Amino acid sequence: SERSDVITTLDTGIPFHGSWSSGWRKPNGGMLCQACRDFGIDPRDAWMLGDAEDDRNAAATLGVPFRPVVEDAWPERFLLDEWERLQTSR
């Protein structure tokens, strides 16, 4: 069922909106939209990491760049492709 926002501040100082809405379920982009609002960033400046097509589709609804997580070593590699692209475009 729908309920109004429950706003809490995490230990890190980041506000957390704990509302439930079907628009927050992937592949809808509601949770990503709220995260961008919480952090004060443009969706085009965020990244969505995911391992499913629903993750990719949720990112696409807001124009958030998507990076697939398909291997165990993704934390070491997830910026590598972006770094290499930036280096070759100079």
pLDDT in tens, 4-61: 566 777 777 776 666 666 777 788 888 888 889 888 999 988 888 888 899 999 999 9
Q: Extract the tokens encoding 85.
A: 């692209």
The answer to whether the beta carbons of residues 29 and 61 sit under 8 Å apart is yes
Q: Extract the tokens encoding 70.
A: 């398909």
For residue 56, what pLDDT is reported? 93
- In this prediction the pTM is 0.58
Q: Distance between the two ends of the chain, CA-based, in angstroms? A: 51
For residue 3, what pLDDT is reported? 45
| Nearest CA-CA partner of 48 in 24, 71, 64, 37 | 64
Altogether, the residues listed in the chain come to a count of 90
The answer to whether the beta carbons of residues 36 and 65 sit under 8 Å apart is no
The answer to whether the beta carbons of residues 14 and 33 sit under 8 Å apart is no
